[in-house]
Structure formats: structure tokens, C-alpha cells
Structure 1
Amino acid sequence: MPDERSGDSAPTSPPRETGGDWDRMWAAFHELRLSSAVERQTRLEELARENPELAAELASLLESEPRGEEWDTTGRAGELLDLGAEAFSALLEAARVGEQVGRWQVVGKLGEGGVGSVYRAHRTDGELDQEVALKILRPDALDGPLLQRFARERSILARLDHPHIARIVDAGSTLEGVPYVALELVEGEPIDRWCSRTAASIDERLDLMLQVCSGVAYAHRRLIVHRDLKPTNILVAESGPGGPSAKLLDFGIAKLLEEEDTPGGVTRTQNRMLTPRYASPEQLRGDPITTASDVYSLGVLLYELLTGRSPYGESTSSSMALMRSILETDPPRPSEALAGDASRDAEGRADTGSKAAIETAALRPARRLRGDLDAIVLRCLAKEPDRRYGSVDELADDLRRYRRGLPVLARPDSPGYRVRRFVTRHPLGVTAALAAALLAIGFTTLVFVMALRLDAAAERERGERLAAEQVSQFLIDLFEAADPALRVGPEPKAGDLLERGARELATSGLEADLRSRLAAIVLRAQVNFDQIDDADRTWTDVLEPLAAQASPRTRAEALLARASILERRSEHRRAARLYDEALRLVPLSQDAGAQQIRTLAQLRRATVRVKLGDAKGALRQIERTLDELKERDGEDRRGVPTVQLEALARLAAALSESGEAQRAEPVIRRALDLARSHPGVSELVRTKLLEDLAIVLLHQGRAAEAVPLFEQAIGQFEAILGPDSLRLPLTELGAALVDVGDFDRAEALHRRALDIATRAAGLDSPRRAAELVNLGWMLHNRGELDRAQRLYEESLALNTAGAGADGPALVPVLNNLGLLELDRGHHDAARPHFLRAERIVRAAFGEKHPALGFLWTNQARLEHESGAHDRARDLYDRALALRRTLYPDGHIETGLTLNGLGALLCESGRSDRGEHLLREALAIRQRFAAPDDWRIALSESDLGHCLVESGRFEEGSRLLRNSLPRILAQRGEEDPRAQRALLRVEALAESSPTP
């Protein structure tokens, strides 16, 4: 016969589904919690001889039992009072049958719950013929946490009115002042027993689950979390033509989301009253509870309804083992659990035909569960709340999608997630955050690449699934090398792990295409760690030979990885050739993987075009690619938007480098917002976008705003990648600090970057040479010209030894040496540096490289200061023509040339033309810099001087006087430009018109 149950179902004895040891411990706990200390110790010793583990758990549970306010057990008198109160309650409850409670007469007892007893009661006021489940608080609980819990439950039930929740009918107090609540009487049985008794089909079980989800979602919308969802709290009643109906009971430990958890007894009592078998990991840990906890419990319920067993199998026989499983163990897929049970049942049959029949009958529903239902259940059971469904409504939607034969939103865990779970379960293997850093940077990228290569259909194919599993195992083996419990010798560094991974791939038994793809990931990780020399070796020793044996598409991926090294080394022309070759290897296709490779190659080729001087063409290409991405991905927003993020980041960089930093800012902010809103985007990608935003602000002249963003990015990079990966962001922050005049901090950062480069690559490396130039430029700007010169010359020697006397890496060093001599007024010493740099650029890059614009503008300044105005005019004209060709109107570098040419024309007697160019240059600088920036002040000083010399004294003197304090404050009196501005102001007295 079905049970007639309603109301509270947190019984004083445990539910029978929780297992033998738990039953014994629960009974012993209630037996001993009021015993004297001597009696308790004697009983525990007896139990320890029989079952040491259970005795230890029981002792721990008894020690945690609250004292004082909750239980007065501090002396024998208190014990006697408690026992007397319980006895009185028992007598009073037995006498309730036949009692009139409000308008209800108690007919009989239905059961007991955690806070009192539940009775069948009949309405006697004559208004209606009605029966209810009458829940009455235990008389001994009239003060303390149980009374609070009972009052909370009544309050919560009063907010609920739903067809799948047992509703409240009445509430009040008995003549003795004991609270009661009358609930809808549900004539039914627990959902699992009903499904078993009726042999319900999978579809019928899912229908009931949808009813349960409807009730739970309704409660959630009213900010109520149930926290104790289990079969005995969900009764199924036969309700006529509408079919079976599920009713949700017992909101005794429910939580109002709008209220905070209290530190007192109510919370502790509720934690003890939950049913561990159905509790979420966060409930067992004591973490904050959200609706995600109910999603988890529904997942356990669904698992049991579909398989007839717990997700954690036999571990439920021990409470400690059960808790460990819930917290640490990934349950098997429901289909695997069902198939395994069928095989074990069949093994017990001697008759071969009978065994086969059992396997066939039982494996049929297992096949039905495989795939979508497995994915739905396991998404509910994710250990991390944010990996579950975002709401019960989402779970119900996916169940309905499954019923209608539509694709479900839940997908099986990716190889990358399984690797992350491995790291979580083996924390000793990630000492110093090395393995975690590797996982965060390279291998989540790998998962993304594989996800694009293996679309929804291909993912189901056995061969591709095997490849994914091989990848997972490769990564797990790599992480085990860092586990101090397994390794011999010192802890490996991040670079060591990557290098080991590359070596293993060279000789691995994996298929060549897969090895090549993995090697490309390792190489990109090395680039992310700024291990350029290691990445070069990975290319030469591993990836290049593997790529030669791989498919065209995989070879194209390898070329993209190789080109990333060349870009980091500023070998842009060689990188461009590799991108072109990759595009030839992967023609236009509808295949998602091929489209991705083509898109990345086009984006990166466009960025190189900016470096090579074709900024306008690069911008057009990137914008076209973004339009294509928008059309292609418009229907599916579920995937990680990695390619779109790269497109936006590269567009912002191209705009910024093309002098359109104002246009770049909303683009990079859009990318950052998209990355932050998508949970699948790695923290490294978000941090890189934050760094890109800081760079855009720096290019706008907003260094003060860029500094805190650089600092935040550096902190996050260090947490993700470690301190040895910070060379480039430290250099960028140093440049921003120079702009705001904080030279001491800038020097410290540049020296730290220099130390990183020296440790990583050696004393004679190109990276060290680059950092010497950066440190030298900082000192140069501070006016320490002798120290700057020594660093420039050391860098020049290193670059000459490494790249030859005509290597392009020499160009920035030669340019800086020329400027240094120019600032000293040593024009003859400056000229050879500029001319040598010009010859190298023309030989390496031709006549239209952006570097020529810098060199010609600097040479023009030299000739201007030397008095060779015609020669200076020719150089300024060439630089201006080149920059107007390369860049959009209003580019910051065009403004530099305009400023120099305007000043020259003013001094040459062409004040009208000169003033026009100076005003154009000032307007450009005002668009790129903050109003008080020293560069704007320099332009104002040049324009003011031109105006004074042409007889426009009032406006000119105002500009000169207003600009001087800003120049002195930000550049210092030793700066040559500050000295020139000061001399102009001092000369005003002599040039002032006579009154």
C-alpha cells in the first residue's frame, strides 16, 4: 500500500536509503548525546573495538554537538531535565489523537519529523469536509533553534502556492501554546518507490522530474532554496485523468536567499538535519548556499531515477566515504552505471541464454541514457556550482529539449576540464603554481583548438574521442613530472615542463598530426612565457619535422606558431611570408577548423602589415574579418569567442598604432567586456586584454590612467604565469611612468625587466639587448645622457654580434644614439647614426617603411639646428609625404613632422604657412594627450615662439608663459626642450613691443 505522508520528513531515525554504518552511527549518536561523559567514553571504547572508523566518526560528531544555549547538558540536573522534557513530550503527543487543535480534530498519527509529529486531522467547523496533515511542534522545543526553524518553515510555506508543492492550509497554536501548521494532505508515496513499483518508463520518470523542477523553480523565483530535496520529500499521488502528480514537501531547512546565514544554532541545526546522500559539495563544506545546491540535489535524484542507484555507488555504506566521494569523486555516467549493473547481474546467471537476455534488456535503457541524458545529469552533478545549470528552469528546458529530440545545452566534460580536475585532485603536483600556469595558458588553448576541430558531430566519433583522451593523458603525464611525490630531484620550472613536453612529443607514439598540433600548443606556451629561444628549439627540433608529415591544415597551424616567434623578434617580413603560406595551405572551406585557421592567419597577417607600413590596408582587412565572424557566428553564441576576441584586440592594436587610439579604445573595451562576460574565457586572455587597454590609453597620452591598469595586469600575469614572464608588461609600465615623470619607479621596473631577460636568455641575448635600450631611453629622458649612452652602446655591440652590422635590430639603437648626440648639441656625432640606420632600413624593408619617417624627421631636426634649412626642409617634406601615405589623417607621428616643419618655416620667414602647420600639429597632440601633458605644452611653446617672431606678441607670449610650468614640472630643468622653452620666455622681455 502506498504511504500516506505529508509535511516534515526529516525523521529522528535515518532514511533507510543511507546505508548500514550511517544507520548505526545515527542511532548511537541519539543514544549517547545526553549520556554522561563516563558513559559516553565507555560506549565509544566498546564500539572502537568492533568498528574503529565508525567510533572515530561518532566521537567527532559528538564533540561538535552544541552545548549551553542549545542543549543544557553541563550537569546531571540538566540531563534529567532534558530527559523529563522528552518524556513529557512523548506522553503529550500520544494523547493528541482525538484532540481538537483549532478547527482540526486529530484523527491519527502519520509520522515524526525533526521538529515534531505529523497527524492526520479532519476539519470540524462544518465549513468544508477536509483532511490535512497537521504538523505540531514538540513541546520541549518551545524555545531555541527548533522553534525558530518551525516558524521559518511556516513563513516560507505561506509564500508558496504551486500545484507541485504541498500548500499550507492553516496555522496557529494549541491551547498549550504549541505552534502548529496544517498542510495539504498528499496521499502518495516517495517518487523513487513509485517509479520502481509501477516500472515507470524513462519518459514517465522525466515527466515527473519536470513537475518537480516546476515546483523548485517556483520556490527559487520567490528566493527560497529547499536544501533537502530527496525522494522522501517528493511524493507521487495518483490524481485521476491527469496522471501521476509529484508534490514537494518539507521546507523545514529551506533558506531565504534574501536573509544572511546566522552564526547561531539555527544554521548548525539545519546543517545536521540535511541528508548527506543528496547534499551538494558546498553544503558539506559549509559554504554559502545558492539555488545551485538544489540543482545538484535534483541531479542526484535524476541519476537515481534513471539508474536505480546512487551516483557514488557503494561508498554510501560509510558516511565519511560518502562525503569524500561527494567532494572529490566524479560519478560514472548514468549509462555506464546502468550497463555495469546489467553486466554484473548477468554474470550471476549460469544459463548463457538467460545472461544474454538480461544484458540485452538492461543495456537497452543504458543506450537511451548515453549521450544527452548523461550530459544533463553530470552537468547537475558538477562539483563547482558555476559549472552546473544556471537555474532549475535551464535544467527543465534541457530535459524538454531532450524529449523533443533537439540538441541539449549540456555537453560532456572536455579533455581540458578533466585535466583541471586532475590538478585539483593532485595539488602536490602543482607546486609553485607551475603546472597551474601551464594549464591556464597553453592547454586551455589546446582544448579550444580541439573543440573547433571536433564539432558536435565529430565529437561523437570514436576516433576523435580517442584523440581527445590521448591529449588528456599526455597533459596528465606532463603534470605528474611536477608532483614531488613522484619525481626525483628538484622541482621543475615552467620552462622545464614545457621543454620536457616538447621532447616527449618528438618521440611519442601519438599520431603525427596530433603530435604536431600538441607541439604547436607547447610552442605558443613558450612564447607566452617569453621563452623565445626555447620556442625556437621546439620549432627546429620537434614541430618543423612533425609538420612535414602532417596534413596541410595542421602544417598551417604549425606555421602560425612559428610566425608568432618571428613577430616577437620583430621579423615582420618573414612572419608575413609564413602567414601567406598558411593561407595557401588552407583554402576557403565550410569546415569550422579550416575557417578558424584562415581567420587567424588573416588577422595576424594584417597586424604585420601595420608594422610594415600598410596601416590603411591592415585596418580594412581586420574590419572585413570581423564582419565575416559576425555573419558566421551569429547563430551560435555558446562557443568560447576566442577568435572574435583576437580580432577585436588586433583591430584595437592596429588602430592605436595607426594613430587612431581614440577609435581603438571602444574596440578594446568591447573585447574586455565580452571576455569578462563569458565564463569559458581564460583569465590569461582577460589579463592580456586589460594590458591592451592600458597600451591604448598610453598611446592616447593618458599615461596616468594607464599606470593602474598596467599594475593590475602585472599582478594577474604574475599569478598566472609566474614572475619570469613579466619582462614585456614591466617595460610597458616603465614607459608609462616615464610619461608621468616618475623616473625612479620607471628605472626600478626597467632594471627588473633587464634582470629577467638576462636570467632567461643570457648576457649576450637579443632580449637583453632590447632591455638595455629601454633602460637607456628612460635615463635619456631623465637627462642622464652619459649613463644612457653606455647602455645604448652595449646594446649596439650585442645586436651587431648577434645579427651582423646591418641587422634591423640595430635601427632603434642607432636612432636613439643619434637623438642623444642631438640633445647634446653634437650634430656631427649624431649624423652617422641616423644615416647608418637609414641604410639598414632601406636595404631590409624598402623605401616605404615607417621607420624612415622617424629617421628623416630626426635628421631634419639635426639639419634645422645646424642651420641647413634647405636640407632640413627637404627631409621634413619626405617624412611628411611618407607619413601621410602610410597613416590616416591626424596620426600622432604625422603631427611630430608637422611640428618640426612648421617651426622651420616660421624661422625661414614663412610665418603664415608655419603657423598653419604648427596649429595642425597642436590639434593632433590635443587629441592624443591629456590637457596638461608636456607634449601639448611643447607644441604650444613652438607655436607661441612663431607668433612672437611674426609680431603676434599677445597670443604668442601667453602660449609661451602658460606652457613653461608644465614642461618644467614634467621634464625637469635639465631637459633640452625645457631649456629651450625657458630661454624663449626669458627673451620675451627683449622682444616686448614698446608701449
Structure 2
Amino acid sequence: MTAPSRYARGKALFDALVELPDAATQWQALQAADADDALRNDVWALLQAHRETTRIGSPIAAVSHQWSTTPEPLQPGDRLGPWRLCSDLGEGGMGRVMRAERADGAYEQQVAVKLLRSRGDAGSLAHLTRERQILAGLRHPHIARLFDGGSTPGGQPYLVMELVDGEPIDRWCAQQAAPLTTRLALLDQVCDAVAHAHARLVVHCDIKPSNVLVDAEGQARLLDFGIARLTDGDTPDAHPALTPAYASPEQLAGAAPGTASDIYSLGRLLQVLTHGHEPPGLRGRALQAIIHKALAAEPGERYDSVGVMRADLQRLLHDRPVHAWPAGPGRRGYVLALAARRQWPAWLAAAGAVAMAAAFTAGLAQQRDRARSAEQAALQQREHARREAEAAQQISRFVIRLFEGADSENGALRAADTPVRLLLDRGHAQLQRELQDRPAQRARLLDVLGTVYENIGQLDAAARAYREAIALEAAAGPERRTQEAALLYKLAFTLNRQGHYQAAAAAAESCLALREQLADTTATDLADAHNAAGMTLGNLGRLAAARQHLERALALRRAQFGDTHTQVAQLHNNLALWALMAGEPVEAERQAREAVAIGRALPALPGLHHRRLTVLAQALMALDRLDEAGLLLQEAAAMARERYGADATYLHRVLRETGELQARRGQWAAAVVTYREALAAAEQGGDTGNPVHALTLSRMAVALAGMGDARAAEAAHRQALAALKDAGDPLGEAEAQAAYAAWLQRQGRAAEARPLRQAAAATRERLLPAGHPLRATSPSNAP
């Protein structure tokens, strides 16, 4: 085999080093490379030239004035390197665009070839080559790729770009009669693409509808970075082509554009896309505030970055206060009004409790009347009915007083502005003082409180309420065993969602034991108990027993409800989680898709659907199908925010998996931001101090390491391990140990890494079945 030429060796070495983050890292890697001093010097010179400020002030569009003659027009059928020109696509200020196809037989591909006007001298073409190299590095799903380029035999420069078959974004939205949410989702994709370019010091400079196409899949694609310039470039010698209707004031004045110029153009695009579709009320005013900030005349008064503008658009969609809303007396009312709107599910849950209590009371009254009219009820039955009716009435009075107490005359907030959590905490404290002589009523009220706490994602408070109710029911004697079993079931799942697996398993096994003893246990009760036992035992690594319980629960529920029921969907979802723990991602996807399909067929019961979507996304990530998983996680996060707001434990779980997806893609900075948002949601929702929270910390540590922040990474690793110690989650602790060991190994601290790695391996070998991938591997996404 012929040895590689000096040019080939130098090019390969340059390609390997050019993507490293900074000059110091490049120099270190170059010195360690297998090359002689002369080759090292040549490659270093190339790297320095690559880092030089590029004078894109003399961009592709402005090079034409240096070219003196017009080349002979190319025709369909002509060849440019490996490309054969096919047909004209259009012509504009930059030049002529033609459809082309790969003609060298290497593979089939269609592209768009942009023929720039006239021919350039050697200096201009060299400048174009440097710009082309930078622009080719923009790799993003919503940016049309630049594949190739060069000059024609007549000296005319050309670019070979990805061919996007689509419609301009404004025309597509009009043709599809797209709702506001779709228009904002497309703009969000454009913002993501522009942020990607800005992070690589490239400004687009000409964002407008004709440069944003929507393809057949409904995805936005940003075109034509041909007039882009580097953000740290020198003052241009000639001004780039621009579109006055979308250009920023500083561009129109002839100043060098920067990232703020693209933010202005995005504001104009947002204004065009939403014109005539402005939502009424607060959301419409918030939208106008975002547009106004993006279109500020002074660059310093616009958004600090495209990412900040995207965050405001997300807050708009989820009824969160936007940062663009002007400060002043009106902002507090705006924030409070949005809080009341977001919390309507929890108010509805509390109102539902009142309605159920009233219906229960009415039913008992009817039953009592029938007993009296027939004179067949015994004294004990009548007394029981009386006590139950009194308990139901007490529940109704309690909930009504809870809401009435939020509208006092001593300066408290009115009910519409009072956080539901504050009302529930007030009611819980009230129960500590009242009904000391009526344990049955107290237990029932605590059950109601726990359910509402859980419905708004406050799991820690729910678990406390359930525990208090269980203690009261257990002290009441054998006649309250059925109620005790029902509460144990609720407590088991609440603890399981918090990651308190040992305590959850104990509650589940107690529930199952009671259900098997009680004569009045129904098939539904028994299925619930088996389900709780399966989920909690699985999280402890007892996978064989867990599967038996879950399959038994599924059989019972199918026999009772059929194949399409929310209870059946829950079991498919739990079996998917079991399959993920067992290292069977194909089975996990099958079960999760069953759950999602049933959930989508039951639109009236959306409460748990974000969890099903999240589990399906986890299965797809395990199969390395990241794009599909990402779409599901976006949908799940939107549903969780809509239902619970930004401060609930359920949002924490969705965001944790989103961060994991970003880490799998190597998007370390984005993953850290997402993990921090997840931790904030967990803190606000009271979901801290448990293994689930600790594992989020551990995974954030991996992302921090990927960013190169060693100090923060080690602190997060240590914090996660401290939280997991003796927490009752051996597999979670093993994951955190393996992640920390991998980081220590990369830091050259092998002696510290060894015991952690050995402990993680021992736990996995003890709890996981033979052949499970985690028995022999460390986290696959560690940098």
C-alpha cells in the first residue's frame, strides 16, 4: 500500500485539530501527533490562518465589483467537478441558482448550485474559500448545508448547497391556515438555527421569509448564509446585500451587523408571521412586547441573545410571564393573572373533590331513604350510613372553608390569586388542630388532601398526608382495613415516583397482603396491588418478581376493562419501564407504544399522557433513535407545563430525560441548562432529597464535565453520591458511582476511580440479569 502523501497527512492532521475548542488545546494535540517538525509547523500555520478574523465585510455578494468580465453562461448538462447542472431554480441579487445532481457515480444526490456573478481575482477567490470553509461548518437540522464550492472554468465562483424542496415560511403558513402555535413553533426552529450559527461566530445578515423554507415534513430550513460575516470580523470594505424590510437600522445605516441585527430580523419575521393571528388578552399583549423588544432601534435594547428571545416565546406559549413585558405597576397584575390561569387544573381538582363528596353524600342519603322506607336496615347499618354522610359533609365543608379562607379582610390575597399549594398547606395545618375526636373524618380529609397534592405535582406533601391517614386507619381496627389498603397503594406509588424505593416496596407489599386477606377485595383492588408491587420491586432490581406482578395486574385489568382503557395503558407503560430496567429496549418500545396508542385514543383522560410519552422517548433513546425521542420529549414537556406549571415534579422527570437526550448528542451546554431547569422544577415541587433528584445531579455532572467545567462537575458528582448513600436505590447509586469513576479516570485519578467502579459493577452484577448492557459498561454519553 502506498504511504499517504505529505499533503494528505497534513490535511488529515488539520481536520483532526480544527474542531478543538481553543488554540492551547490544538497546540497540545499537535505536539502529541505523529509528525515531523516541518509538518507540525505547516499545520500550525494553517490553524492560525483558520482562526484569523475573516473580512466578510467583503462578502460573496460584494466580490463582484472586483471582476471585470462576464463568463459564458452555463447551461443544463454542463459539469462542475462531480456535479451535472440540470435546470434553473431562480435568479436573485446574489446570482443564478440551478438544480444539479451528482454525476461521478459515487452516490446519488441532488443539490442546489448558486453561481455567483462574474469572476474574481486570486485574492477574492481565496477569501471566498475561507468564508466557505467557515460556513460549511454550520451543521444543524434547520440550516441548509453548504456541501462544496469552487470556481467554474471561466473563473466564476459557485457554491453547492443542500436542495430544500419547500415553500417560503409566510406562504406556507398562509396556505396551511396555520394556527399561532404552529407559526411560533416554526419560528422557534429558525431561532434555534440562528443561535447555532451565532455560537460559531457567524451572523446570517439576511433573515427573511424567502430565506426560510418549510419542507414536506413541516420543518423550517434556513437558507443562504452566503452574505454572513463573522461576529468578530473587521469593518467591511463594502456593504453586503440586504433586504431593507428586514434589515436592522444599523445595517441600513451602513454599520457592521452583529448578532443583534439577526435578532431584529427575527422580530420582523415574527411580526409578519403573527399578523392577523394575534391572540386576545394578556397573551396578545405579551406577544407584542416580545416583538417590540426584538425590534428596538438601539441594538443594546434588544434581547441579549437569540436564546433569550426563544425562552420568552416559550414562556408566552405556556402562560409564563415574558421578560419583555415592561416593568412597572402593571407587571405585578400581569404575573398574578397568569398564575391564576396556569393553576386552573389544580382548582378543578379541588372542585372535583367537592363535587365527588357532594355526590357521595347524595348517594348515601338516597340509600338511607330507601332503608327507612323499606324498614329493613338494621341499627348498625343506619349508624354507619350516618357516619359516612357526616364524613362526606365534613369534607365538603372543609374544602369550601379552605377556599373561603383565601379571601379575608386582613390583607391576604384573593382566592383567584392564592397559590393552590398555600391553600392546601393551610388546610393541612387546620386538620392538625381540628377533628381530634373524629379519626375517620380526619383520615378521609387527609386522603383528599393527599390526592390534590399529588394532582399538582407536590409529591412530598402528598406522601405526608397519606402517611397520617394510614396511621389513623390502622389505629381504628379491622373494620378500616379496606381504607388502609387503598391508602397504602397511593403511598406506594407516591414514594416510588420520589425514588424512595425501599419504603415504596414496603408499602406495596403491605397493600398486597391486606388485599389478599380481605373478603371485599375486587379485581380492580387486586390489580392495583400487583401493579404497585411490580413497579417498586423492579426499582430495587428484583426484576423477575416485578415482571410476574405486572403481568398479573395486566391480565386482571384486561379481563375487567378490555384492551383499550386508561388502566390497561398504565400497565403497558409500567411494563415498558420494566423492560428498560431489564435492558430490553425493543420490548420497552413495544409496550410504550401500546400505552401511547391507548392514551391518544382517550383524549378525555390526558393527565398521565406526558408520562407515557416520556417512557416511549426513553425506549427510543435506548435504541439510539434520538430524533424521534426528541419530538416526543418536546410534546411531553409542553403537556407537563400546561397541566402542572413550571414548578412540579412531573416536569422535573421530563426535563431530566430531555437533558439526557442533549447529552447523548454532545450538546453539553444545552444539557446543563436543561438539567438546571429540571432541578429548579424539582425544588419548587418539593421533589428534592431523594434518589430521583440525586440522579439528575449526577447526570448534570456528566454534562458539566463535557463542557470542561471540572470543578463544578466534581461538586455535582459528590453531591449526587452523598444524596444516594443509603437512599434505597442501589441501581441509581451504581449509575452515579460509574459516572463519577469515569470522570475521575479521565482526570488521571485512577486510584480514586477504582473502588467506585468496582462497587458499581458489584451492584449491577448482583441485581441485573446476565447479558444486561449495564453489567459491563459505564455511561455511554460521558465525554
Give the TM-score category using the shorter length. 0.3 to 0.5
TM-score, length of structure 2 as denominator length: 0.45
Q: Which has the larger radius of gyration?
A: 1
Q: Which has the higher helix share?
A: 1
What is the TM-score normalised by the length of structure 1? Answer: 0.36
